[in-house]
A = this chain, B = another copy of it.
């Protein structure tokens, strides 16, 4: 699954209209551009660094995920350049993950999440996958809502337009 995400996002987002790239669901919700930036943060600061701590039997609490680091980091960037960067970072991280040849016993090793407490490496990897999929769903939902007015009376047959209404 983790290999698929860059391809899914490229198929959805490469060379899209900037209005769509920066569309949000209001407030400080994420645009597709923000989501790709957030996923880059995950590659650089979260999943693999946390897995490294666990493998090293280091029980220091993980550094909390900074959900808004990307806003400063990616100012002035294009979405296409972020998509390329995400794909490169993900590929490198998956090479590393494979090279570890994780055993069942290692997958059961525990780390310390700053708010959730003890978590296993196995749970971390499953969360990486579910987190990707949640953000793919978010990107598609935000893009669908961009067409909310254009669909006219069909709105009532498109439940995605009402998901996560604020």
Tell me the A9-49 residues at the B interface (CB within 8 Å).
Answer: 10-12
Give Cα A11 to B133, complex, Å.
Answer: 12
**Nearest CB to that of A159 among chain B residues?**
B134
Beta-carbon contact of A144 and B158 below 8 Å: no
List, in ascending order, chain B residues with CB within 8 A of A1's CB: 143
List, in ascending order, chain B residues with CB within 8 A of A159's CB: 134
A: interface residue count bin: 35 or more
Does A122 have its Cβ within 8 Å of any Cβ on chain B?
yes
Tell me the A117-161 residues at the B interface (CB within 8 Å).
Answer: 117, 119-120, 122-124, 126-127, 129-131, 133-134, 136-138, 140-141, 143-144, 147-148, 150-154, 156-161
With beta carbons under 8 angstroms apart, the residue of B8, B124, B140 that contacts A11 is B8
List, in ascending order, chain B residues with CB within 8 A of A160's CB: 130, 133-134, 137-138
Beta-carbon contact of A150 and B134 below 8 Å: no
**Nearest CB to that of A65 among chain B residues?**
B157
Does A113 have its Cβ within 8 Å of any Cβ on chain B?
yes
Tell me the A72-107 residues at the B interface (CB within 8 Å).
Answer: none
Task: List 28 A–B pairs whose Cβ atoms lie within 8 Å, in order of A's numbering.
Answer: A4-B12, A8-B12, A12-B136, A113-B153, A122-B150, A123-B150, A123-B152, A123-B153, A123-B154, A126-B147, A127-B158, A129-B147, A130-B144, A130-B148, A130-B150, A131-B158, A133-B140, A133-B141, A133-B143, A133-B160, A134-B159, A134-B160, A134-B161, A137-B141, A137-B160, A138-B160, A163-B163, A163-B164
